Amino acid sequence: MKIAKLRGAHDFVIENMESPKIGKNECLIKVKACGVCHSEIDQWANTLSNLEYPRFIGHEVSGEIIQVGSQVEKFNPGDRVAVWVDQKGYASEVAVASERIFPIDDSVSFEEAMAEPLSCTTNGVIEADIELADTVALVGTGFMGLILLQQIKLKGATKVIAIDIRDDILEVATQLGADVTLNPNRVNIEKWVKKITDGKGVDAAFEVGGKQATLDLTSKIIRMEGKLIIFGYHPGRREIEDLGYWNWMAFKLINAHFRNMKTILQGADIGIKLLNSGKVQMKPLITHTFPLEEIEKAFQAAKNKPEGFIKSVITFR
Ligand SMILES: [Zn+2]
């Protein structure tokens, strides 16, 4: 089988490796797609001193079961599935424990069947406890923000305000149900949110961008006693601009990150069910696909975000 090995900054090499041997409770998956995750960009763009290289990354995998362990009862060869893996996803085959495998419907393409991002957004929305008729802001509407948007709507929010500096992505947000879209490069966000919410601010705001600027902006548009949900991936040091203000405003702070496997797998299960039922759409989000040999290009696109870009996916025949 083929696998992409990351040797250092901008240094992927495709190697041939023996197929993984599966345990009694595992299945061997013929990988059909693996999404390029925002969280992987840093370790590819730079050789990070706190990580070991070479390394085998890739964790947003879907494919077809080709072999089933002796104790696995609920799956058969030929089943189409999304899987949870924490590494070795940029490979033509991967071994996965059966409880980390989620069946996908025939109506769902492999490219869109990503268990890990769906788990993160599902658990984020559950943790935020969005209520009926809430007004919710999303600060950053890239790939994750656009999934969150749909799930926030499902939870009963009546007004979702999508905020992003890219107009092309705000158009997609509108198609997927955003009620208002705002571009901070064009308008004063605080002023507009005030206008939309009768001067109060939103009931809940998801910080999705993962930057200091998005964190600062998020805290300025929430109503008194509203929820500030830190959903974005923050690889660097961040500061709270004015803790006194957060304190006075009585914000409910929610860190929407999850580390225990039970919660993660439960989120993936729910997320894939929503995808299978058509309640969540991923197809409009998959804008760039590449074969494994062009993994460098897939990462370049994810970093540089050309016009119309939302998500890179590595696909296999
Ligand atoms: Zn990911």
Phi, psi of 88 (to 5 degrees): 60, 25
As a whole number, the mean pLDDT across the chain is: 97
Say how far apart CA 67 and CA 230 lie, in whole Å.
40
Q: 110-131, pLDDT tens digit by residue?
A: 999 999 999 999 999 999 999 9
DSSP assignments along 36-61, one per residue: PPGGGHHHHHS--TTS-SSB----EE
Residues 266-283 as b or e (16 or more Cβ within 10 Å = b): bbbbbbbbbbbeeebbbe
Share of the chain above pLDDT 70, in %: 100
Question: What's the CA-to-centroid distance between 110 and ligand 1, angstroms?
Answer: 16
Say how far apart CA 306 and CA 239 lie, in whole Å.
30
Say how far apart CA 266 and CA 123 lie, in whole Å.
8
Say how far apart CA 11 and CA 31 lie, in whole Å.
22
Q: 82-91, pLDDT tens digit by residue?
A: 999 999 999 9
Question: What's the CA-to-centroid distance between 182 and ligand 1, angstroms?
Answer: 26
Question: What's the CA-to-centroid distance between 59 and ligand 1, angstroms?
Answer: 6
Instruction: Tell me: cis bond preceding 54? Omega within 30 of 0 counts.
Output: yes
Say how far apart CA 161 and CA 175 lie, in whole Å.
13
Question: What's the CA-to-centroid distance between 212 and ligand 1, angstroms?
Answer: 21
Tell how far CA 103 is from the center of its chain.
19
Alpha helix ranges (H) inside 231-282: 243-248, 261-276
Is the pTM higher than 0.85? The answer reads yes
Question: What's the CA-to-centroid distance between 181 and ligand 1, angstroms?
Answer: 25
pLDDT at 235: 81
Question: What's the CA-to-centroid distance between 85 and ligand 1, angstroms?
Answer: 10
Q: What kind of fold does domain 118-255 have according to CATH?
A: Rossmann fold (3.40.50)
pLDDT at 317: 85
Question: What's the CA-to-centroid distance between 58 and ligand 1, angstroms?
Answer: 8
Question: What's the CA-to-centroid distance between 266 and ligand 1, angstroms?
Answer: 16
Residues of the chain with CATH 3.90.180.10: 2-114+282-315
Say how far apart CA 151 and CA 124 lie, in whole Å.
10
Tell how far CA 79 is from the center of its chain.
24
In contact, 89 and 61? CB cutoff 8 Å = yes
Under the banding of pLDDT at 50, 70 and 90, the label for residue 266 is very high
Residues of the chain with CATH 3.40.50.720: 118-255
Alpha helix ranges (H) inside 158-242: 167-175, 189-196, 212-219
Mean pLDDT in residue range 243-260: 97
Question: What's the CA-to-centroid distance between 234 and ligand 1, angstroms?
Answer: 13
- What's the N-to-C CA distance of the chain in angstroms? 13
Q: 130-161, pLDDT tens digit by residue?
A: 999 999 999 999 999 999 999 999 999 999 99
Residue type, 183: N
Question: What's the CA-to-centroid distance between 116 and ligand 1, angstroms?
Answer: 6
Question: What's the CA-to-centroid distance between 36 and ligand 1, angstroms?
Answer: 7
Q: What kind of fold does domain 2-114+282-315 have according to CATH?
A: Quinone Oxidoreductase; Chain A, domain 1 (3.90.180)
Instruction: Count the Cβ atoms, other than its own, within 10 Å of residue 301.
Output: 19
